[in-house]
Structure 1
Amino acid sequence: MDFGRAPIDGMDGPTDRSSMRALTGPVLAVQGKKGTDVDLAKAVKRYVAKNYSESEAAACEEDLQAVQRLRESVVRGKEGNEKARKELEKYHRILKVMETRFPFSDDEEQISTVFFVWKDAFKTKDKTALRNIKAEQAAVLFNLGATISQQAIETDRDSEMGIKLAAKYFQEAAGVFAMVRQTGVAKIPASGKDLSNESSNMLENLMLAQAQECFFVKATVDGKSPGICARLAKQAELFYREAWNNTKQPLLKDRIDAEWLNHVRTKEAMMLAWCLYFLSVSHRAEDDIGKEIARLQAASSALKSARRDAGKKLQASLESALKSLEGTIDRALQIAMKENSMIYLVRVPDPASLDQAQGAPMVKSIQPEELSLPIDFFSGFVPDHCAKSLSIYTDMVDRTIRELTNQVQETSDQVRLKLREFELPELLFSLESAPKGGYTPIPEPLALELDEVGNFGGARGLQKMYAEQKEYRASAMSALSAAESALDKEVEEDNRIRQQYDQHCMFPASNLVDHPLRERISQFKKSLEVALDSDRGIESRLSKNDDMLRSLGAREAASRMPRISTPMVCMEEGDVAKGLQKALVELETLAGERDGLEVKLRELKQKDNLLPKLMSYSGSTDNLFDQEIKKYDPLKEEIRNNAARSKSALDDLVEIFTKFYRIYDISQWKVDCEKAAADMRRDVEYFRELKASLEEGTNFYTSLCKASTALRHQCGEFALSRQLQRDEMVNEIRRRQAQEDANWHGGVEQGWQGRAGAGVPGSGANMLDTQFQGMHVGQVSNPLGSAPQQQMGAPPHRQSPGYAVGSGPNQPQPSAGYAYPAIPPTDFPQESAGYDGGICRNY
């Protein structure tokens, strides 16, 4: 019989982009910050006139007025998204130019009267007022990212070009929010929580998640393979999860709208469910129904958890998408479970034991190209020679930073390679004298094999599998006993009826026609006996090797690895081990110092703003550069000192390790470790052999259960068919018995009436003699036809009919005899390698 599994309707996912868009639900756009006007042009002009000249201030007048108008338009924010984006990009480029020319700060000698006031995007009641141009840059970037996200949701995502454009916009929005973080505005006190690193990370991940979702939609509509769709959905789920984790940061707590939180949480669960759904499609194509059900169960559980978290606070379109996805997964799950319960009878694995899908990132944060374009503002305010000189100094700084960074990395690499060569600090963990929690690491390939054993459940998993096998065996034996009992009861009932109606039973006895079924039962019992011998062998192996199998657990396996023992007689072992630990601590301290030096280098470079000095400096730029570059000398000295100390500590480590290796006989310990690992590998192989035998046994018993159940049904149908046949025979006999009784009583009554009507005493006897002389009942039209001869005057005598049913005189003949119909064919699937007219077990 062909049990091939057809694909479930709709299980390959939606085929048009509009339906898919409905199933994935809506996407989010960010709302921008609201700002207030400030007279930027007046304050800057006053500063230029005071610190440079009136002519310089006049030369900047046109550009300053243009900047003032542009800022007022940006703050109003009443333009369409396309124009608003262009204005924000232009204004940000101007701010970058102004940062290099005009100092905005609290210092009264600089531009201190300009306060950049912006409201918080998440809590509009909160606002910030800072005299730092970086705060203005960050606010403009935030609004630019918000505007680009609004462009994304306005695209026609039902078209191929529209969904590509939406993905591009979301990636650009992510890149802009990343730039907010890169401005360093979060380090400015009272800069606003919506400009914090936590907020920027959350918005960047959210935009990337929605961009990845666009790729997932397109791949599904384009008919990509389920594996590709699953990986794309998994990556979208990872982005959504990261965004969700960002929202739980203390700085953002109680600031994000509940509808947003529910949206992100629900989208995370939906993309995970889509991933699991497409994995189940792959399993279905491979006829792996156990994994298919496990994936669908995990998807259903994820959606239920998300719905429980969200409550009733989902927007209508997202609620509709969630319901639609729940229906798709529940329908597929019901079909798969029904197929498994009726046909396959496969054990459903734990979803956590299955391989996890790997994400396939198709998106990244992209900075809009327009932000890096040059702009012709205040170009006359900075002389060309200043710009060229600044470029020369910047090259000097970059070269210095690069050289120092290379020195730090070279020292770190030397230490790391030497520690790897000596297998430190792992060797110290293997000491018997190590603090509680010490252990000997298990080799990586063996550790993976032990993880496989642990994921299956180890010895408990084998015992559980064997217990399930025994249940299958008991079920099969019960079915065979029920089948045999049905046949025995049928033979008993058949014999009883035959004793009562022996001469009327023209069809064969039950014990003559049920032998094909009994032979099949006998074959199954013999197969069970053979299988039981195998089961006893497996049970014996499980029992005898229980301790060994349990030793393959994580803790037990670690305890089997030998520890480095302390020498019995040695006066310097304690000093050697402690000296080795001290050397490692010293190297770790120096590594931490190097990390700190790299941070100091980056911070010093960020603060190194030479332009204000360069613009006001009248001497030789070479002298200025030599003077300024000296600020890096202290760091140079610290890096050289760290490298020297690291080399000395590393030399000490080599010397101490040589003694440690000899005193503690590390070479022999490694031999012992390899032997212990080899023993565990053999044990793992033995575990796999037992597991394979149990799997084969389980497959045998599930096949036998299915076949035994079918045989039990056939025996029941056989008994029912025989019972109906006998009931029909008995009813026919009783009907004819009643008809014969009625005919017999009618003939007797007519004879007595004739004698009473003669009227002449004595003449009646003569007439009777004349009429009935020599006549027998058999000569009368007697429907029985075979009754014994007797005189008419004899007492009435009833007897059972002595003919075969349907053969009496003047009786209608039945259309067919009572012969037992042919036994229904026992068509069993050959599900075992040893099948030969029945089910047998071969393992």
Structure 2
Amino acid sequence: MSAPTSAASSTSSSDKVSVMLAIYEKKTISIDLYDPLRKYISNIYSEREAQAQEDDLNALRELRFDLEKPSSTDPLSTRRDLLQSYFRALSAVESRFPISPDRSHINTLDFTWFDAFKSSKKATQKNIHFEKAGVLFNLGAVYSQIALSCDRSDAPGLKQACNSFQTSAGAFAFLRDNVAGKVAIGGTTTVDVSAECVGMLERLMLAQAQECFFEKVIADGKPPGLCSKVARQVSLYYEDAFKALNSAPLSQHFDRSWISHMQLKASQFYAEACYRASLDLHQKEEIAEEIARLKSGTNALTDAKKSVKRVAPSLLDSVGRLESNMKRNLERAMKENDRVYLMRVPALDSLEPIPAASLVKPASLSEIFDASKERWFANLIPDNSAKALSRYTEMVDDIIRTQAEKLQEESEITRVKLKEMDLPESVLALEGNLSLPIDLKEEVEDVQVIGGPSSLEAELQQLRDLKRVNQELLVQTEDLLKKEETEDIQFRTHFGTRYNRPESSTMTKNLKDRLNRFAANIKQASDSDARIERAVKDNFDLMAILDIRPIESALPNLARPIMSLDGNEDAILGSLKQSLRQLETLGAQRAGLEDMLKDMKRKDDILPKLMATAGSSEDLFRKEISKYDNICEEIAQNINAQEQLLLQIQVQNGEFAAMFNLEDYKVSREKCYKQISAAMAKFREIKNNINEGLKFYVTLQDAITNVKQQCSEFVTARSLQYKDMLESVQTQFAGLNFPPDGKQPGYNYPSASQPNPSTVADPRITSRPRPSYSYMLPSNPVTPQPSNYNYVSTGLNNPPNMPPRDLNDRSQSQPLPVSYTYPSSVPPHNFTGPQNLPNMSLQVDPRSYNYPASMPQTNPRHVYSHSQQYPSYGVQQQPHNGGGLYQPQPQPQRSTQSGYGRSTYNGNNQYYNNNASSQQQSGPPYPRPPYSIPTPDSYQGGGPAGYYKNQ
């Protein structure tokens, strides 16, 4: 075995060079990483993924090839960078590719490395840790070579050498702590990568780094006491290395020259420490101890020189010069003591150990070995790594959740306690910054936006206008029936027995009853309107507070005391305000801390580090989770500061309340709150009553309009019948063709029990086509029902403006336009026959009238000829089998929309009872709130009560 590589470049007390050592690299055998790794990717992931990793696989193979055959022309820095890059790549491979003898793993890779100190010995393992151990050893060796190549004669070179020795020690320490144990359990290995060997090399590199510092303090002319401490630490590091070399398994593995070198270097720097200590003692005139230190140092050198063999001659020369200097000083000191000081020299074993000062340590290689920034096989994430990442995420989430709950809890505690102390409202009230509770303030602002209590008068006027429109419409409808009844009486008087159609009073009884109920409803509604107007007048003063703008100006002011005994109001108020500002600052800090926690979690991505970590993931988790410790500590400090500040505020608020008579102010303010709330409640009540009334009048107007349309159709049909009968009578008189039974032809009126005969064709009918109208007459028409007040969902929104209608611009046969709709619960009134009336006890009989061809067809009906029998109103008629003129026809539905957004009252369903004397359905005398009338057929008889709640 060869001697250790060495170079001399340092000066000491001998004023000559000092010998240091460097380490040779380990040798290896070529191996191809490409094929086994690619096959594994293809089998475990996919062929497509294997193709995607081609670049990384080729780059890894290239790094291994360069590692196997170092170039003698490349600088040491290039070799260093290659080893570092390859080690980071191995870390990425380790976390993604299981390499071991196991059949399910990659078991075709055999890593072979030779011993650095006995090149004839080698070991092979299917273990990636063995490969990493070889790389780490070579990295430490390269750093030692870099250090030895530095020119230590100047300060920059000396500093670089010292740093390189420390980095070399760091590489050997990392190998000992993280890899050597895994290599030992992987099978046969070499001694050079054992924990004992790399530990010895670490101490050697530290000794040489400390020696660089000794050279520096000597060159800088530092005090002898400091130089002694530095030299003593050099000797201690060499002593540790010497002890390791003298122990198994290293004692039989290393050449004797290594042991001799370590022993002599340890003795040299122990003697150097004694020499520097003696110089310091001489300056202090402590001659006796000076003599003892010089004797101790020379004895150590003498003993070492006797036992060492095969050491570098330059080292022996350096030791000899040091020994000569020490003996010369010893002779001088002994003469001075004998002649002048006459002090007793202490025994050598009684001397205190020379203190040591360590100025070096193994350099951390965490950043150098950090593969998290590398992109090696970034898309390959094994299941165990994904599970580990999930576990870490849960740990972080638990921290975030716990701390966020603490922050929120403290914020809520602050809010509740300030609310109990009426802060900061009471302080703001003293400064004139009054405030209402948020919900009450919003309600008042909503009222003020729509005009406040003053807007109620305009809505009352809308009620009056709608009532007037309904009254006028009712009068017009009654006039239609009266006019028709008058004509019927005149015709009956004129024609006598030849006028055999039913009397109008019999046929219009139900219509008149409905109109009477409408009139009763209007009267009841008028009473409710009057109650509303009285309520507005009686409560206007109460609601006047809602017109004050801003509403906060209605609140009482918190005034300063008229008389003050000690005049410290400003001091009390100032201290309280200062504490509140501090509390606000703490609250802002809590918000910032919570945001900081969330931001840290968002940026906390440890997957690259997890994939690059060769060791236990738990170690990584502990390290990474520790970065949340500082912010958790800040949160705890914030919470503690808030608790102390709240206690202080409670004391200050007690003084403030006593000084400014706060309790009386709270009573008056609460009274004002109640007054505003009472005004709001009354305003809402009146507003809702008005809205109820508006809805009722709109609904009633639609119902009256529908009845008016029915009356118009009835009058038109009666008029056509009269004309047809008049033509027939004139024809009979002109032809003197009287029937034997004295009845007019074509007018055979059956009784209620007789079926309707077939219709006789008339050439006048065929020559003058007429539209067909089909009537479906209900058995129990009912009227709208006003009811008591109920709060409705419209809230404070005004109904749309409803101007009075002009009722004189339409013919009697057309329905009035409907500008309002029913509530959403009202179904559209579109009936085509009895089958459309489930769950209703109504009987419908189709009716038919003769209309002129020129009559507007707003509601198509069947026509019948003058020779048909006139149907009996109130008597159910049976249509002919197979269909005919009496078949019910589908009714077109009106789709007029109004401001209320609901379907209009179409007016196309039944309006006659099947019998004039049939019994009306029982029920309440007015509609249920909010005055929605399901269908015109559901109207019941009027009652004495109004549609509003009694005031």
**Same fold by TM (over 0.5)?**
no
Structure number with greater Rg is 2
TM-score normalised by L of structure 1: 0.44
TM-score normalised by L of structure 2: 0.39
